[in-house]
Amino acid sequence: MLWTFYYGLLSAFAPTYGWILVLRSLVFWALGAVLAVVLAMLVMPWLGWRWLLGLSTLPFLLYLAFCYWLPESVHYDLLAGNPDAAMATLARLAADNGKPPPTETLTAGPFRWNAAGSETSSLLRT
């Protein structure tokens, strides 16, 4: 459990956004490991490993159930050439937040794989 606090503290002093993402993912990784151990301690003595395996899949099944309601990224829709879907997503998000939908035209610049800062090595630069 101490690792969770350690990674959280490190992410507060991370030099770049990429490091924040890496360190925050380590926090959730550590919390998941602690949860798995606690679940094993509670389930294994009485129900066995099959129940442990089944109960361990519940978060994934919940994720699959709720994926239907997750909107696609507006940026992805624009880059995929689907501006109508992007506007529909923005309108849905605006309605959920009690705001008026955007009225201007959405545009996205060209997508480049080797744009400055888009490679993995940029996560290690300060």
Residue 99, CA distances (Å) to 8, 37, 84, 90 in order: 33, 44, 19, 10
Give the model's pLDDT for residue 17.
Answer: 73
91-109: per-residue pLDDT in tens? 988 998 999 988 888 877 6
Indicate yes or no: pTM above 0.85. Answer: no
Per the model's pLDDT, the better-predicted residue between 30 and 9 turns out to be 30
CA atoms within 13 A on the CB side of 110: 4
Give the model's pLDDT for residue 121.
Answer: 63
Residue 82, CA distances (Å) to 69, 72, 74, 108, 113 in order: 19, 11, 9, 11, 20
Residue indicated by tokens 């992007």: 86
Residue 39 has pLDDT above 60, yes or no: yes
- What string of DSSP letters covers 13-73? T-SSHHHHHHHHHHHHHHHHHHHHHHHHHHHHHHH-HHHHHHHHTHHHHHHHHHGGGSPPP
